[in-house]
């Protein structure tokens, strides 16, 4: 059963598009087994800009919805939504981010509606709620609580649940503030204090001795939760986020020092020039607008860069006393802090690190390119810790 599920995820990181960011998203759909390689090669040839990406995947969503291929439709709408700005106003064939989210969510709901092993519910979270998908059984070998990061939606990861269930684990997937339904339908903004929403899930289901698994920015959120909640016994960081701000800064080369200085001087006249340049770059402008949407009281590049400084494990790592698995891809921008993250976990019960390589087709963010290797690495580690 386990091997049959792993066979659903093809191995290999392909060149579907010359733009590395678009190529990464196309590879995500390939690695998760949503689209075939030849389909994605054809799609990549039709897309020459981020705007065309949005149009293409909106059209594909409608096509697959019409043919009742609900999972493909869901991921098509989701990918159109991914690069759509929160300020986009719907007009004609152009859909707003909220409309694309609802289209994607409707398709995910259709696809999973016939799965009796998967339960969805809304649990209390202050005056709001958190959406949780769960799959449980009698006498589980362990419990995994999984979430994404930044502006992710939990439905993109639900396809993993059958693998963990096949090994006997109870599994809980949830979204917190700034993510998916919690942001799109409730308007709750992202928080770096992730222990509150994780704690709400553990409280509601009466869970303890759990493994938390954080994906992407979840590589910060998971250890953050573990630092403050000892009902968590094991932590999987996929990938590590030792310093979100520092990682982005490192990509700026010789401009990094200037930007770092400017971030400490919000009234610098240089911000006017930077703002104009950023607005001409679709990806940079999109990244900032995502932050303006999901972060509280953030509306300028200076505020954005200052806000993301909160997402670092430098200060909380010594507070982590659990078993920790640190995962990183050799080509991922966050991997510059791999050694620092390992060394910072001074009080962890145990620390295991795994640096994935290009030869393994797993060197990119969250090991897109080799999901089977990622999953077996995690579950082999869990097996070792459970002996």
How confident is the model at residue 273, as a pLDDT? 85
In the structure, what pLDDT confidence band is assigned to residue 158 with cuts at 50, 70 and 90?
Answer: very high
Percent of the chain with pLDDT over 70: 98
Quick one: pLDDT band at residue 338, thresholds 50, 70, 90?
very high
Predicted confidence at residue 87, as pLDDT, reads 67
- Tell me the domains of the chain and their CATH numbers: 15-112 (no CATH), 119-243+312-386 (3.40.50.1820), 245-308 (no CATH)
Q: What is the pLDDT of residues 91-133, one digit of tens each?
A: 666 799 999 999 999 999 999 998 999 999 999 999 999 999 9
Instruction: Say what the pLDDT of residue 370 is.
Output: 98
Average pLDDT over the chain, rounded to an integer:
94
Q: Are strands 350-356 and 119-125 parallel, antiparallel or unpaired?
A: unpaired
What pLDDT digit, counting tens, does each position of 238-269 carry?
Answer: 999 999 999 999 988 888 898 899 999 998 98
Question: Would you state the pLDDT for residue 164?
Answer: 96
The two tokens of residue 280 are: 């001409």
| Model confidence, pTM | 0.95
pLDDT of 232 strictly over 90: yes
Examine the pLDDT at 3 and tell me if it is beyond 60. Answer: yes
């Amino acid at each position: 059963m386990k091997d049959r599920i792993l066979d659903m995820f093809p191995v290999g990181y392909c060149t579907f598009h010359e733009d590395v960011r678009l190529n990464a998203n196309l590879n995500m759909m390939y690695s998760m087994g949503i689209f075939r390689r030849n389909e994605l090669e054809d799609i990549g040839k039709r897309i020459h800009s981020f705007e065309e990406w949005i149009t293409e995947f909106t059209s594909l969503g409608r096509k697959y919805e019409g043919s009742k291929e609900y999972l493909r439709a869901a991921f098509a709408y989701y990918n159109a939504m991914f690069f759509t700005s929160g300020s986009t106003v719907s007009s004609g064939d152009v859909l707003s981010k909220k409309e694309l989210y609802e289209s994607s969510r409707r398709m995910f709901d259709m696809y999973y509606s016939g799965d009796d092993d998967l339960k969805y519910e809304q649990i209390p979270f202050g005056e709001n709620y958190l959406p949780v998908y769960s799959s449980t059984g009698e006498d589980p070998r362990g419990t995994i609580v999984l979430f994404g990061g930044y502006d992710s939606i939990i439905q993109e990861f639900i396809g993993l649940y059958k693998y963990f269930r096949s090994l006997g684990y109870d599994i809980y997937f949830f979204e917190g503030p700034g993510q998916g339904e919690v942001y799109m339908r409730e308007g709750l903004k992202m928080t770096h204090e992730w222990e509150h929403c994780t704690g709400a899930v553990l409280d509601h289901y009466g869970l303890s001795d759990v493994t938390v698994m954080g994906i992407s920015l979840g590589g910060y959120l998971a250890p953050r939760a573990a630092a403050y909640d000892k009902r968590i016994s094991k932590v999987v960081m996929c990938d590590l986020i030792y310093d979100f701000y520092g990682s982005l800064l490192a990509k700026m080369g010789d401009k990094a020092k200037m930007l770092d200085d400017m971030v400490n001087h919000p009234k610098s006249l240089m911000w006017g020039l930077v703002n104009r340049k950023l607005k001409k770059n679709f990806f940079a402008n999109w990244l900032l607008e995502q932050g303006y949407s999901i972060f509280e009281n953030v509306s300028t590049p200076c505020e954005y860069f200052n806000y993301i400084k909160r997402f670092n494990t430098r200060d909380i790592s010594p507070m982590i006393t659990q078993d920790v698995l640190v995962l990183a891809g050799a080509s991922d921008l966050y991997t510059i802090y791999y050694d620092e993250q390992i060394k910072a976990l001074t009080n962890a019960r145990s620390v295991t690190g795994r640096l994935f390589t290009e030869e393994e087709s797993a060197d990119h963010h969250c090991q897109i390119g080799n999901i089977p290797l990622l999953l077996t690495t995690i579950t082999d580690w869990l097996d070792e810790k459970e002996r």
